[in-house]
Amino acid sequence: MFRFRRQVYCDNNATTQVSKTVRKRMREVLAHCYANPSSPYKMAHQAAGILSDARERLAKAINAPPQTILFTSCATESNNTLRAIAPLLSDKRRAVLYNPLEHPAMLETLFHLREQGFSMIPLTPDRLGRIRPEEVGQSWREDVGLLVCMAANNETGTLYDIKRMAGIARAHGALFFCDMVQALGKIPVDVQDCGVDYASFSAHKIHGPKGVGALYIREGAPFAPFMLGGHQEEARRAGTEGLHNIAGFAAAADEIPHLLSMADELRLKRERFVAAIREMFPACVINSPAADECQPGTVSVTFPGTANAVVMGQLDYCGVSVAAGSACNTGEDAPSHVLTAMGLSREEARATLRISFPHALSDKDLRYVIAVFGEVLSGKGSRVTVLQPSQLTEEVLFAPDIFIIDLRRTPKSEYLLKPLPDSKQFPFFSIGKHLHEIPKNRPILVTCETGYDAPVVAYYLKRKGYTRLTFLMWGILGWKLAQPQLYARFARQHPGVEDDSTHTQPGKLS
């Protein structure tokens, strides 16, 4: 049985550890410069100076004039700014050519524009998520006024030839919006050289703080503010600037050359991981391009015949943090839109993991990660009992002494699937705060809506010393599909169901 020995974080595309330099700079600003940069007195002038200096430092990191940098609350806000920019297009150029593998922050923005009358034209990625510039030219229409394509994909690490795409857009008199969140700090970024009109960035992807992002706006590019109600950011974005976060962003930007200096070594470590996984599991499928067509530390891999949520829970039990290639527990049976657009089936998408290594990954950590994957996927690792939906009978539901945990991410008013009878509801993100309510001397069945959260929490509980554990495979949705009569008859019908609204408050897995 594999024993937990190390903690190795391999989900760097989700967020990064805040660096010591960034933490130090933020503490300095919080302690000594708390004035509002827009106020007229001396302390405010100091704050305004910090804001101006941060703008210059971030601009230097991406080779942009300082006045083209707009600080936002996050990259999601930066992308949503497109909702105010797009209406400035000519009435004859209301079509948008876009990469269907974009982050949801961009896709949801584009879908909003579609509801406002814009036409959406998706590009066609290949099996590794690549979109060739030739595809952009072949898909072009006379009414296209905007091209949208990210620089690097957050799930597969696929890189796009942004410079050539921008040239095509410019030749057709169209604008180009580029989400560069996953590119900054991993590959060189030069917004002027690549010719984009707009680019979004996020601090917490480069070891900066959460809660601050940026939008690059090429000089002369049409712009309208998305946030209204103040004169901040040269009247381009209302709201008092989060000065400590912005200062932290600038400190993180200063360290980008150091991150880039480690990129080649990180790419070699990724290739070592891929080679080891292929040797151990020849049936696995790598969904990420190799070499220079991919981020240095990202790989998406499908393990046919597995459930990514289960594997992720087992890896987490051994101290290895990775992400699933499928959607989180939203109450819908929806696999990753990125993977399905690349041609993977729903089953393949649900058997896919994303590993995104940190720049500072040590050789020892890499060896440990490879060993853990080997133990888990070969069936030698520690396991929790799995209950298939067809096995969840009336006898199991009402078995003596069983304690049923129902994990939820949303308030009860938004539940799409009814909980099991006699279940006790807990918030997925803060289950650690409720361990005192979960008995160790009773058999425990862990459930969730669609099956992604239950394995993670089951293995978390195992790590906390619980031994009589089972989780429901595919969640309540799987049970509803497998046994619709039992679902209709018993779901949320039993008087023992708990209804404590305090259990729906978000928190942290502790």
Task: Supply the residues annotated as catalytic.
Answer: 328
Contact 191, 167 (CB under 8 A): no
Q: How far apart are CA 401 and CA 14, in angstroms?
A: 39
81 Rama class: left (phi>0) / alpha (psi -120 to 50) / beta? alpha
Q: How many CB atoms lie within 10 A of CB 142?
A: 9
**What's the length of the chain?**
510
Q: Which residues pair with 366 in a beta bridge?
A: none
Contact 108, 98 (CB under 8 A): no
3-state helix, strand, coil in the chain (%, to 5): 40, 15, 45
Q: How far apart are CA 14 and CA 365, in angstroms?
A: 19
Q: Which residues pair with 216 in a beta bridge?
A: 69, 199
The pair of structure tokens assigned to 12 is 């760097």
For residue 503, the one-letter residue type is: H
Q: How far apart are CA 399 and CA 387, in angstroms?
A: 14
Residue 382 to residues 287, 310, 467, 475, Cα–Cα distance (Å): 28, 12, 11, 21
For residue 239, the one-letter residue type is: G
Q: How far apart are CA 93 and CA 2, in angstroms?
A: 59
